[in-house]
């Protein structure tokens, strides 16, 4: 065992994962009902710890605390620079605990430690980015009207906002919502994915340590149908930012209608990666393999459908087979592991059932091999579905695992039509050295985000999100702060004695 691995394993083993409570009004508390649920480790399928199960009563308590903190607490009256000191302090504390957070994330999700370490570093940057963004950019506009009026806008926080997150890349996704929500002056209730509560609890500990006033940030663990549903319907919650499955997003929109909430939806995907015969095939190969097999394939923007031009298909497929055979499957705590176990047994069974379906639909299935010593975990090996056609269910439905469907194409028109013939529209990737074609494809593929000759490289300033069944609204950059977490208020100022109609002044 190399020393680095031994180091991580010892830390992980010796780290007793404490049971987790809810974080409400600045205190770690049990659920009102006293009920807990078990949090299972995807690598061992043993219990990591027990988690307090928040339900409607706990959610109500958290909302009341957040409402008080927004309306009467000091949060709303802080100077921006003081608020940003808190935001930057959170980032510094994340940096101090990067290793611990990465270990917890890997224990909880099965994501390889080398990948969770990168994500944690990015999570700290989420807070710094929004601190800079709010200070530099969150200002309104002035609209002078001749010499009669000066109209101007200011941007106000919404109040209590609810953040509902999934289990894939939880710390990254949670901080991406929490950072802009707090930086713009809202108070927050986070309902994390029930399968990945550990780092949300860590975030609560960090925010507690950063000294934010009570009630500004709250975490209510629990299930979607109870805790999540109450957050969505609660009349005092002004907005819900949701990341998760398309069907859940649709339920949330329906359930939030009675209280007329603002919602933001980051949903599923089935993104195409298109490789033309003139592309840099070595780089395209690296990107295609990383894009579906990193994060254990549990990545919303993964290139689940790979379209290969017929002239390069055989060569590319041969190289894919070689990579799939070599991908290192193993213990998520091993820094050399490239692919870890899937989040839970239910998801594992779902992904496996799609691989069986692929065979029935006529695909040739090529897979890596799961080593015998890790068979207790929820491992699905890296999988290629060869000879796929776009109309197959395995090409239409989100599998959300390490499964790449490979589809041959001949013409540009044909591949655009196939890429778009799917209900999702989150991301797309095109590989070509023809600059005109690259742009043409990028414009034609129905997706919120397209990369030309690149994998999914993050830029915090860009609008992140999808079209069609992949979402409504955008996160990231100034989109988060202007379009979601604040509202413009316009103030009309009369500069002189402009005309006012004088109803009732003339005697009848
Ligand atoms: P999910 O929809 O099952 O759950 C997400 C969250 O919603 C969880 O916290 C869950 O408890 C909660 N929830 C479930 N039912 C609810 C309800 N009725 N009311 C309120 N909350 C409810 O999703 P998941 O399986 O945890 O995550 C995987 C999905 O997330 C995939 O579809 C993936 O593509 C998507 N995702 C999208 C993005 C993006 O940015 N577009 C990013 C990551 C993941």
> Ligand 1 in contact with 249 (CB < 6 A)?
no
> Ligand 1 in contact with 228 (CB < 6 A)?
yes
Which residue stretches of 97-169 are H helix? 98-109, 113-137
3-state secondary structure of 5: helix
3-state secondary structure of 278: coil
What are the backbone dihedrals phi and psi of residue 351, each rounded to the nearest 5 degrees, phi first? -65, -45
CB atoms within 10 A of CB 346: 10
> Ligand 1 in contact with 466 (CB < 6 A)?
yes
- What's the length of the chain? 508
Residue 300 annotated among the catalytic residues of the structure? yes
Distance (Å) from CA 333 to ligand 1 centroid? 25
> Ligand 1 in contact with 267 (CB < 6 A)?
yes
In 3D, which of 405, 408, 383, 389 has the Cα closest to residue 313?
408
> Ligand 1 in contact with 426 (CB < 6 A)?
yes
In 3D, which of 262, 133, 265, 158 has the Cα closest to residue 487?
158
In 3D, which of 131, 103, 130 has the Cα closest to residue 119?
103
Angle formed at CA 125 by CA 120 and CA 130, multiple of 5 degrees: 135
Angle formed at CA 328 by CA 327 and CA 331, multiple of 5 degrees: 145
Closest protein CA for atom 30 of ligand 1 = 244
> What is the pLDDT, as a whole number, of residue 1?
45
Tokens representing 233 are 């319907």
Query: 194, 233, 300, 395: which is the annotated catalytic residue?
Result: 300
For residues 62 and 252, the answer to whether their CB atoms sit within 8 Å is no
Closest protein CA for atom 16 of ligand 1 = 224
> Ligand 1 in contact with 477 (CB < 6 A)?
no
> Ligand 1 in contact with 298 (CB < 6 A)?
no
User: Whole-angstrom Cα distance, residue 25 to residue 61?
Assistant: 8
Atom of ligand 1 nearest to the CA of 475: 40
Q: How far is CA 28 from CA 51, 94, 309, in A?
A: 12, 19, 56
Distance (Å) from CA 167 to ligand 1 centroid? 8
For residues 113 and 333, the answer to whether their CB atoms sit within 8 Å is yes
Per DSSP, the residues of 15-42 read S----B-EEETTEEE--TT--EEEEE-T
Atom of ligand 1 nearest to the CA of 471: 41
For residues 22 and 45, the answer to whether their CB atoms sit within 8 Å is no
User: Burial of 225 by CB count in 10 Å (0-12 exposed, 13-18 middle, 19+ buried)?
Assistant: exposed
Closest protein CA for atom 12 of ligand 1 = 224
Q: Pairing relation of β-strands 486-494 and 149-157? A: antiparallel
User: Whole-angstrom Cα distance, residue 126 to residue 208?
Assistant: 18
> What is the pLDDT, as a whole number, of residue 508?
87
For residues 431 and 442, the answer to whether their CB atoms sit within 8 Å is no
* Positions in the chain whose pLDDT score sits under 50: 1-2, 14
> Ligand 1 in contact with 229 (CB < 6 A)?
yes
Distance (Å) from CA 243 to ligand 1 centroid? 5
- The pick from 245, 448, 465 for probing ligand 1's pocket by mutation, whose C-beta has the most ligand atoms within 8 angstroms, reads 245
Query: 266, 298, 361, 408: which is the annotated catalytic residue?
Result: 266
In 3D, which of 454, 461, 398 has the Cα closest to residue 431?
454
Distance (Å) from CA 220 to ligand 1 centroid? 16
- Count the alpha carbons within 13 Å of 97 in the hemisphere toward its beta carbon: 21
User: Whole-angstrom Cα distance, residue 109 to residue 296?
Assistant: 10
pLDDT in tens, 307-361: 999 999 999 999 999 999 999 999 999 999 999 999 999 999 999 999 999 999 9
> What is the pLDDT, as a whole number, of residue 431?
98
- The pick from 59, 111, 162, 166 for probing ligand 1's pocket by mutation, whose C-beta has the most ligand atoms within 8 angstroms, reads 166
- The pick from 109, 199, 248, 476 for probing ligand 1's pocket by mutation, whose C-beta has the most ligand atoms within 8 angstroms, reads 248
Per DSSP, the residues of 319-345 read HHHHHHHHS-B--TTSTT-SB---S-H
In 3D, which of 360, 428, 419, 418 has the Cα closest to residue 394?
360
> What is the pLDDT, as a whole number, of residue 370?
97
> Ligand 1 in contact with 232 (CB < 6 A)?
yes
Distance (Å) from CA 130 to ligand 1 centroid? 24
> Ligand 1 in contact with 432 (CB < 6 A)?
no
DSSP 503: T
Distance (Å) from CA 193 to ligand 1 centroid? 7
Distance (Å) from CA 426 to ligand 1 centroid? 15
User: Whole-angstrom Cα distance, residue 196 to residue 490?
Assistant: 41
User: Whole-angstrom Cα distance, residue 364 to residue 354?
Assistant: 13
3-state secondary structure of 2: coil
> What is the pLDDT, as a whole number, of residue 342?
98
DSSP 353: H
> Ligand 1 in contact with 297 (CB < 6 A)?
no
Q: How far is CA 248 from CA 39, 228, 236, 268, in A?
A: 22, 11, 21, 10
């Amino acid at each position: 065992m190399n020393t680095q691995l031994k180091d991580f394993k010892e830390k992980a083993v010796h780290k007793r994962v404490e049971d987790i409570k809810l974080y409400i009004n600045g205190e770690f508390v049990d659920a009102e009902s006293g009920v807990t649920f078990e949090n299972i480790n995807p690598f061992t399928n043993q219990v990591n710890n027990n988690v307090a199960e928040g339900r409607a009563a706990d959610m109500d308590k958290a909302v009341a605390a957040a409402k008080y903190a927004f309306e009467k607490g000091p949060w709303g009256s802080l100077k921006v620079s003081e608020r940003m000191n808190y935001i930057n302090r959170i980032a510094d504390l994340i940096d101090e605990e990067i290793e611990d957070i990465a270990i917890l994330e890997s224990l909880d999700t099965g994501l390889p430690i080398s990948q969770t370490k990168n994500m944690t570093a990015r999570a700290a940057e989420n807070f710094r980015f929004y601190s800079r963004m709010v200070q530099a950019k969150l200002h309104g506009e002035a609209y002078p009207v001749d010499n009669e009026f000066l109209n101007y806008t200011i941007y106000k926080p919404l109040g209590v906002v609810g953040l509902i997150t999934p289990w894939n890349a939880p710390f990254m996704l949670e901080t991406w919502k929490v950072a802009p929500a707090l930086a713009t002056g809202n108070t927050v209730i986070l309902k994390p994915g029930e399968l990945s509560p550990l780092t949300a609890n860590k975030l609560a500990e960090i925010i507690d340590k950063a000294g934010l006033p009570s009630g500004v940030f709250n975490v209510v663990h629990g299930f979607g149908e109870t805790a999540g549903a109450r957050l969505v319907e609660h009349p005092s919650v002004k907005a819900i930012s949701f990341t998760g499955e398309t069907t859940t997003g649709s339920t949330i929109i329906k359930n939030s209608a009675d209280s007329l909430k603002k919602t933001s939806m980051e949903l599923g995907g089935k993104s195409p990666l298109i490789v033309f015969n003139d592309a840099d095939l070595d780089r395209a190969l690296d990107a295609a393999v990383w894009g579906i097999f990193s994060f254990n394939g549990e990545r919303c923007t993964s290139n689940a459908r790979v379209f290969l031009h017929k002239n390069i298909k055989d060569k590319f497929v041969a190289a894919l087979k070689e990579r799939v055979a070599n991908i290192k499957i193993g213990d998520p705590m091993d820094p050399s592991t490239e692919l870890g176990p899937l989040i839970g047994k239910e998801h594992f069974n779902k992904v496996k059932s799609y691989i069986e379906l692929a065979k029935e639909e006529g695909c040739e299935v090529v897979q890596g091999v799961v080593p015998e010593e890790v068979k207790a975990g929820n491992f699905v090996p890296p999988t290629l579905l060869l000879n796929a056609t776009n109309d197959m269910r395995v090409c239409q439905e989100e599998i959300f695992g390490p499964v790449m469907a490979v589809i041959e194409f001949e013409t540009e028109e044909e591949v655009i039509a196939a890429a778009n013939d799917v209900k999702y529209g989150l991301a797309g990737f095109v590989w070509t050295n023809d600059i005109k074609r690259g742009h043409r494809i990028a414009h034609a593929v129905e997706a919120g985000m397209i990369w030309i000759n690149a994998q999914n490289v993050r830029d915090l300033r860009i609008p992140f999100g999808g079209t069609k069944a992949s979402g409504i609204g955008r996160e990231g950059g100034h989109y988060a702060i202007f379009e979601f977490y604040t509202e413009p208020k316009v103030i009309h100022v009369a500069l002189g004695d402009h005309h006012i109609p004088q109803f009732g002044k003339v005697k009848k």
